Structure 1
Amino acid sequence: MSLGIMFGLMAMVSWGTADFIATQAIRREGTFNTLLWSHVISMVLCISAYIVMVGDMTVTPVSLLKAGGVGVLGILAYLMFYRGLEVGETSVITPISACWVIVTLLISILVFGQSLTTVQAAGVCLAVAGAIATSFRLSDLSSTRRLARGVHYAVSTVVIAGIFYSSLDALTGRMGWFLPVVCVKAFGTLTLLAYAPIGKRSLSFPRSSVTSILLVGVLEVIAYLAFSCGVYAHYSSIVAPICAAFPMVTVVLSQRFLGERMATNQKAGIAALVCGVIILST
């Protein structure tokens, strides 16, 4: 198994676990507070780790400006996704939003000139299908009314997130695997802090969910660094579909610890993902 795929799996597990923990915190503290403070923790951890491990924070103004733009894109993707969940149906918004990986794939191939063998393309298709299938319950979709509500937010998430991860890949190629994550997290956090007064959001620290927020922050750092290392070592067109399958981890954890039942389409999605990873690993 290549390093790129190993890092992709690490990012998938970290993001899936973070999403599971964040969901519990969001139910207690609300979306914005959970998102903001987990990003603050991620930013502090990233900057501290970079200073200790590398020490040199020198970055050109142009690179800093590019990283800032990418960081803003990342936060916009988060906000679009959560806004979609607020006004629409989870069973509709989540699977549409999961299609961001298709945009990343198209950019990787059409813009960055990455190419896949027939076998790799088959593995990627299985991984993408698995990522989308595990993100929702088909039975919920069939019983949902007013399916169109919030869909424009989901589509916005697809486009913005797809461009975000492709841009992070491009930054990694120019700035290394660590510094882009530091810059993206810093600018993302600053964007949230700037948005708070505009959106009339509270900045109070969620003391009742300290452990959950800390864990989410740590796992987010691990996930982003793993993704960055993955695309630094391998094509993003192969690493991104594996990372995008993180809902599978969330679903498995929800079944194990919350007693939630896994739908047939989710089981099929997990099977497709496993087959895709096996194909990509050979």
Structure 2
Amino acid sequence: MGLLLGLLSALFFGSADFVAAKSSKQIGVYATLLYMQIVGVVLLTIFLVVTGKWQFITSYSSIAKASLWMFVDLAGILMLYRGLQVGKASVVAPIVSSFSVVTVILAISFGERQSWITFVGIVLTIVGVMGVTLSGPDTDDPLQQRVKMAKGVVWAILASLCLGIAFFGLRYPVEEIGGLATVWIGRLQGSVLLAFIALGVKRKTVIPKKKELNYLILVGVLDTLAILSYNIGLIYEMTSIVITAASLFAVFTLVWGILINNERLAMKQWAGIVLTFTGIAIVSIG
């Protein structure tokens, strides 16, 4: 069940990223991220009110843990977007996709133990995902490539560390107050923080049109379902297993690109896809 929920999380994350790319081109990355958080908190608030699952309000330590790890996650996303803005996507994406390595290392360091065959599957999956995100150079100017690479690498490394640490730490609040409450706290916190940052830098507020609003609602729904699937998966399986499955999100983003945008993959990306699914198959058997 944990592995399946991790795969479901990857599907939702990958789909959300694909739709977010379209939204970002229309209203910008920052506005997309802000509205995505708002959509998530509205949906989760409605669900929590209807189901009456507000017990977490009385657990201040659990609220603090959820707030901390979801803040680290938000910081990682902002660093990722910054890296993509100033650097080369073909350099930034593979580095950031390695965040699952950080999560697995932390999980093993804090006591998780896997069989050797499962560990081999985890390694193959992570290597495969990084291979999938590799793309060819988009410019023939070597100097320009080096400059963009240097600008994006630092942000990519920071993003990878933050995301890896966040996805490891989320297990703690999830075990105490559940996945729904943890994500609700994160989305509420993200909405407030991003709104204050926008006011602080006097960023112009973008009012989405109908088509843009549809994209934003879809991104918010998909992203919320993705983090929920991951968090609930942690209840059934060890962190290293769930994060390995969830790391396939990049594969699903590329699949949507192939199906909808008629994009073509390089041979090394196809090799990465084969490695990725071979790794997942080994993990499921192990």
Bucket of the pairwise TM-score, normalised by the shorter protein: over 0.9
Shift of 1:184: 1.6
Alignment of 1:146-165 (within 5 A): 146=147, 147-165=149-167
Deviations 1:148-170 (A, max 9, x none): 12211111101111111111122
Matched with 2:146 is: 145
Q: C-alpha deviations, 1:81-105, integer Å up to 9, x for none? A: 1111111111111111111111111
Aligned residue in 2 for 1:235? 238
Match of 2:221 in 1: 218
Give how far 1:220 is off: 0.8
- Sequence identity percentage: 28
Residue of structure 2 in register with 1:51 after alignment: 49
Q: 1:280 to 1:84 in 2, by over 3 A?
A: same
The residue that corresponds to 1:267 in the other structure is 270
Larger deviation: 59-68 or 128-137?
A: 59-68
Give the alignment partner of residue 198 of structure 2, picking from 193, 196, 199. Answer: 196
Matched, 1:98 2:101: no
User: How many Å separate the matches in 1 of 2:108 and 2:52?
Assistant: 32
**1:117 corresponds to 2:115:** yes
Which residue pairs with 1:41 in the alignment?
39
Task: Say how many residue pairs are matched.
Answer: 279
Distance 1:79 1:117 in 2: 35
Cα distance between partner residues in 2 of 1:141 and 1:225 = 39
Gaps (5+ residues) in structure 1?
none
**CA apart distance, 1:107:** 1.0
Q: 2:212 corresponds to which residue?
A: 209
Match of 2:71 in 1: 72
Q: TM-score, normalised by structure 2?
A: 0.93
Deviation at 1:140, TM superposition (A): 5.0
Alignment-derived partner of residue 184 in structure 1: 186
In structure 2, what is the Cα distance between the partners aligned to 1:222 and 1:234?
18
Query: Where in structure 1 do 4 or more consecutive aligned residues deviate above 3 Å?
Result: 138-145
**Alignment match of 1:134 (pick from 132, 141, 150):** 132
The one-letter code sitting in structure 1 at the alignment partner of 2:124 is L
Per-residue deviation at 1:118?
A: 0.4
What whole-Å deviation, never above 9, does each CA across 1:180-233 have from its counterpart, x for those lacking one?
A: 111122212222112111232233331240111111011011101100111111
Secondary structure at the residue paired with 1:83? helix
Q: What secondary structure sits across from 1:178 in the alignment? A: helix
User: What letter corresponds to residue 170 of structure 2 in structure 1?
Assistant: L
Is residue 98–residue 160 contact of structure 2 (8 Å, CA) maintained in 1? yes
What is the identity, as a one-letter code, of the residue corresponding to 1:71?
M
Q: Report the CA distance shift for 1:54/1:129 in structure 2 as closer, same or farther (over 3 A).
A: farther
Counterpart contact for 2:63–2:173, Cα < 8 Å: no
Q: Is the 8 A contact 1:40 1:189 kept in 2?
A: yes
Q: How much is the aligned-residue C-alpha RMSD, in angstroms?
A: 1.7
Measured after TM superposition, the shift of residue 141 of structure 1 is 9.3
> Is the contact between residue 123 and residue 279 of structure 1 (CA under 8 Å) also seen in structure 2?
yes
Note if contact 2:27-2:206 (Cα within 8 Å) is conserved in structure 1.
no
- Counterpart residue identity of residue 203, structure 1: T
C-alpha distance in 2 between matches for 1:59 and 1:131: 40
- Supply the distance in 2 between the matched residues of 1:268 and 1:51 (Cα, whole angstroms): 46
Look up the equivalent residue of 1:164 and give its one-letter code.
A
In 2, Cα distance between equivalents of 1:246 and 1:87: 23
Q: Is structure 2 residue 277 aligned with structure 1 residue 279?
A: no
- The whole-number CA distance in structure 1 between the counterparts of 2:61 and 2:233 is 24
Select between 58-67 and 235-244 the one with higher mean Cα deviation.
58-67
Q: Which amino acid aligns with 1:47?
A: T
Tell me the TM-score normalised to structure 1 length: 0.94
